């Protein structure tokens, strides 16, 4: 209690989406109990100690659930919301507004049964038939989507958080859905999804306009995180594209999934649920990028390996890879245990809605991630990831890990993947622990130690986005779980066309699967959005100056009047 109330416990800020609040306090208290249960009652001592000693980090110990999940919007449209004993059941939605309400409720419910992101694929494709069936106007569509956007940003999950929501937008109807009958109200229509391109365009237009407007204070919406599929049929010069790249330049809201030059295939979004025979050694890609998951896939749990400590303690390459292999073996063992626990709990009814809509966890991955490759290289070989030798060894490490994951997959029959973990407070926890134990270990940060996320470049290494892309491309493609390249550009791009050309250039010239453009902006509580980094608002400053001048003028006037009277 005291640790949370005084905000001295690092776990208070473990998740960037949890605010200091009563709900956060309740989550903190229950989470501490749950974490202790995992470590003392479920995991063997060797695994628990590896986490406690910061050799690796077991994510989401505060939750007795799986990590992230991707759901089928088509299934919700076909079957409605419900089917759980003793709970209210809704029939399949016949109209857009009803569907939106069901989606918001569905995401809120599922978020309470999972620790991380909840994802829906082909959002615009599946919603468009409702617009067509009722011949809705643009105003009606925008009102429905407004209800969705504000609904998913309402704190409705444990810890006073909004559901962590990701939606994927196809922009153009995917080939595998084009000729399929559209579903509205649980019934097939006499038109196909491919017949709804005009309505898809309207959905995308209204959604982007809402995201551009922000909330009442001009603040950009945190959710949903929209991922746009960039295919060769993407229309770069349409009116909607202009809006999309205006939103990208202003807020950096969208993530882009590269289907042009990466190894991803748009149809894979819906393929995992029906793929009965997999090469047990082939590492599958989860899809959906860092915060998304394809339909009926996801992740059971995540373990992040502390690479800098391995680099610091290892005297040569043989010792390095032996240490890494031992930690990976423990991490894999922990994930096998967690899968069995979650499977058993789902069977006994602890996750009733997950069991209703998912049925099994066979397509959910066991995820191993890394933290601090840059500091690992500095400690091991005295060279960072920006050097030729450093980058080559980083590639070797990732390939070694991929091979180990293939072995685990073949041995256990479970799906494994490699993720560029969004470490958040994990990078601080690992670095802080290492500095206390090994004072001369190399970390980043001057006042507070931290490790650079995954295989990313050191902070402030370059302002040239293409230099960063050239370096990261060969590394990003080696991840089979979540990864994202952040293109930091300092301030908003004034010209949407420049932003479009940047995104297009990345999609066509680089193989990285998932990327986002990240401008710097500030939000004034009074005046809303401010382009660039501002510690004070110029408008507020001017208003204060004007107010001060007005007061001075009034005082001068009073002084003159008093002098006139006394004269």
DSSP string, 392-431: HHHHHHHHHHHHHHHHHHHHH--EEEEE----THHHHHHH
DSSP character at residue 41: I
Nearest to 496 by CA among 151, 236, 143: 236
List Cβ neighbours of 287 (8 Å cut-off, separation of 6 or more): 70, 264, 268, 269, 272, 293, 294, 297
- Token digits of residue 550: 């007005």
Separation between Cα atoms, residue 336 and residue 442, nearest integer Å: 33
Phi, psi of 191 (to 5 degrees): -135, 160
Q: What is the pLDDT of residues 483-494, one digit of tens each?
A: 889 888 766 677
pLDDT at 273: 38
* Residue ranges covered by each domain of the chain: 1-42, 53-67+294-483, 536-566
- 221: exposed, middle or buried (C-beta count within 10 Å: 0-12, 13-18, 19+)? buried
Angle made by CA atoms 320, 323, 324, in degrees to the nearest 5? 85
How far apart CA 203 and CA 125 sit, in angstroms, is: 9
Lowest mean per-residue pLDDT among 33-37, 120-124, 252-256, 364-368: 252-256
Q: Is the pTM of this model over 0.75?
A: yes
From 205-214, 247-256, 479-488, the region with the lowest mean pLDDT? 479-488
Q: Please report, in angstroms and rounded to a whole number, the separation of the first and last CA atoms in the chain.
A: 68
Closest CA to 57 of 286, 301, 285: 301
Task: Determine how β-strand 514-524 pairs with β-strand 528-531.
Answer: antiparallel
Length of the chain: 567
Cα separations (Å) of 75 from 70, 121, 256, 350, 356?
Answer: 12, 11, 25, 22, 11
pLDDT of residue 280: 42
Q: What angle do CA 82, 87, 88 make, to 5 degrees?
A: 65
Strands (E), 420-475: none
Q: Judging by DSSP bridges, how do beta strands 56-58 and 528-531 pair with one another? A: unpaired
The two structure tokens encoding residue 113:
């049964």
Closest CA to 301 of 347, 336, 273, 328: 336
Per the CB < 8 A criterion, the answer to whether 176 and 121 are in contact is no
Question: Which backbone phi and psi does 342 adopt, to 5 degrees?
Answer: -65, -40
Query: Is 266 in a helix, a strand, or coil?
Result: helix
Per-residue pLDDT at 277: 31
pLDDT of 547 > 80? The answer is no
pLDDT at 274: 33
CA 103 to chain centre: 19
Higher pLDDT, 505 or 250: 505
Give yes or no for a contact between 167 and 210, defined as CB atoms under 8 angstroms apart. no
Higher pLDDT, 19 or 259: 259
CA distances from 467 to 461, 462, 470 (A): 10, 7, 5
Place of tokens 């009803």: 98
Contact (CB, 8 A) for 118 and 73:
no
**Largest Cα–Cα separation, the chain:** 103
Rounded Cα–Cα distance for residues 25 and 562 (Å) = 59
- How many CB atoms neighbour CB 198 within 10 A? 10
Q: Residue 343: what pLDDT?
A: 96
Residues 286, 299 contacting (CB under 8 angstroms): yes
The mean pLDDT of the chain is 88
Q: In this structure, are residues 116 and 18 in contact, taking their beta carbons and an 8 Å threshold?
A: no
Q: Quick one: pLDDT at residue 186?
A: 96
> By C-alpha distance, which of 65, 118, 106 is closest to 344?
65
383 pLDDT exceeds 50?
A: yes
- Please state which of the ranges 92-96, 192-196, 439-443, 510-514 shows the lowest mean pLDDT: 510-514
The residue whose two tokens read 């579903």 is 183
Q: At 372, is the pLDDT very low, low, confident or very high (cuts 50, 70, 90)?
A: very high
pLDDT at 8: 61
Under 8 Å between Cβ of 249 and 516: no
Residue 113 vs residue 161, higher pLDDT: 113
* Coil vs helix vs strand at 437: helix
Nearest to 206 by CA among 174, 172, 244: 244
Among 108-117, 244-253, 533-542, whose mean pLDDT is lowest? 533-542
Distances (CA, A) of 144 to 28, 81, 99: 35, 18, 9
Residue 303: which H helix or E strand, with range? Answer: strand 298-306
Do the Cβ atoms of 306 and 57 come closer than 8 Å? yes
Strands 225-230 and 165-169: parallel
Predicted confidence (pLDDT) per residue in 251-295, tens digit = 888 999 999 987 777 766 554 433 333 344 566 654 544 444 567
pLDDT of residue 505: 96
The percent of residues above 70 in pLDDT, for the chain, comes to: 87
How deeply is 137 buried, as exposed, middle or buried, from its count of CB atoms within 10 A (0-12, 13-18, 19+)? exposed
pLDDT tens-digit map of 58-85: 999 999 999 999 999 999 999 999 999 9
């Amino acid at each position: 209690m005291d640790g949370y109330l005084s905000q001295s416990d690092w776990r208070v800020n473990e998740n960037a989406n949890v605010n200091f609040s009563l709900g956060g306090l309740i989550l903190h208290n229950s989470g501490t109990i749950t974490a202790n249960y995992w470590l003392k009652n479920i995991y063997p001592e060797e695994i628990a100690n590896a986490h406690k000693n910061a050799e690796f980090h077991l994510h989401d110990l505060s939750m007795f659930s799986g990590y992230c999940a991707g759901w089928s919007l088509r299934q919700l449209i076909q079957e409605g919301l419900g089917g759980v004993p003793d709970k209210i059941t809704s029939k399949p939605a016949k109209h857009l507004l009803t569907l939106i309400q069901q989606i918001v409720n569905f995401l809120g419910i599922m978020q309470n049964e999972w620790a991380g992101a909840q994802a829906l694929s082909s959002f615009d494709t599946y919603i468009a038939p409702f617009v067509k069936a009722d011949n809705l106007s643009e105003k009606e569509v925008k009102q429905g989507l407004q209800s969705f956007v504000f609904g998913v940003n309402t704190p409705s999950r444990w810890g006073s958080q909004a559901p962590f929501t990701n939606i994927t937008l196809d922009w153009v109807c995917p080939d595998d859905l084009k000729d399929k009958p559209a579903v509205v109200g649980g019934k097939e229509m006499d038109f196909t999804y491919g017949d709804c391109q005009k309505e898809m365009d309207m959905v995308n237009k209204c959604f982007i306009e809402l995201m551009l407007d922000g909330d009442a204070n001009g603040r950009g919406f945190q959710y949903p995180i929209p991922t746009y599929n960039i295919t060769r049929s993407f229309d770069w010069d349409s009116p909607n594209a202009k809006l999309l790249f205006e939103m990208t330049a202003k807020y950096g809201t969208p993530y882009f999934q590269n289907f042009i030059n990466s190894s991803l295939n748009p149809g894979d979004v819906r393929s995992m649920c029906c793929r009965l025979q997999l090469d047990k050694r082939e590492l599958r890609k989860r899809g959906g990028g860092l915060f998304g998951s394809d339909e009926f896939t996801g992740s059971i749990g995540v373990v992040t390996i502390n690479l800098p400590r391995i680099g610091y303690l290892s005297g040569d390459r043989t010792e390095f890879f032996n240490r890494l292999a031992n930690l990976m073996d423990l991490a894999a063992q922990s994930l096998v245990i967690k899968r069995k626990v979650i499977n058993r709990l789902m069977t006994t009814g602890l996750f009733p809605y997950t069991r209703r809509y998912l049925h099994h966890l066979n397509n959910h991955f066991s995820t191993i991630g890394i933290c601090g490759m840059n500091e690992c290289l500095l400690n091991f070989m005295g060279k960072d990831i920006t050097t030729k030798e450093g980058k080559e060894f980083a590639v070797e490490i990732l390939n070694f890990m991929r091979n180990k994951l293939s072995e685990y997959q073949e041995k256990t029959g479970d799906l494994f993947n490699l993720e560029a973990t969004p470490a958040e407070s994990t990078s601080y926890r690992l670095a802080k622990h290492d500095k206390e134990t090994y004072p001369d270990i190399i970390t980043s940060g001057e006042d507070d130690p931290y490790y650079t996320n995954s295989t990313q470049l050191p902070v402030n290494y370059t302002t040239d986005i293409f230099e960063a892309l050239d370096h990261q491309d060969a590394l990003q493609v080696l991840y089979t779980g979540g990864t994202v390249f952040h293109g930091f550009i300092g301030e908003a791009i004034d010209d949407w066309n420049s932003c479009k050309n940047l995104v297009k250039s990345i999609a066509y010239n680089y193989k990285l699967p998932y990327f986002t453009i990240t401008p710097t902006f500030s939000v004034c509580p009074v005046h809303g959005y401010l382009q660039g980094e501002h510690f004070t608002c110029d408008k507020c400053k001017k208003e204060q100056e004007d107010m001060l001048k007005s007061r001075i003028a009034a005082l001068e006037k009073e002084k003159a009047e008093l002098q006139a009277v006394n004269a």
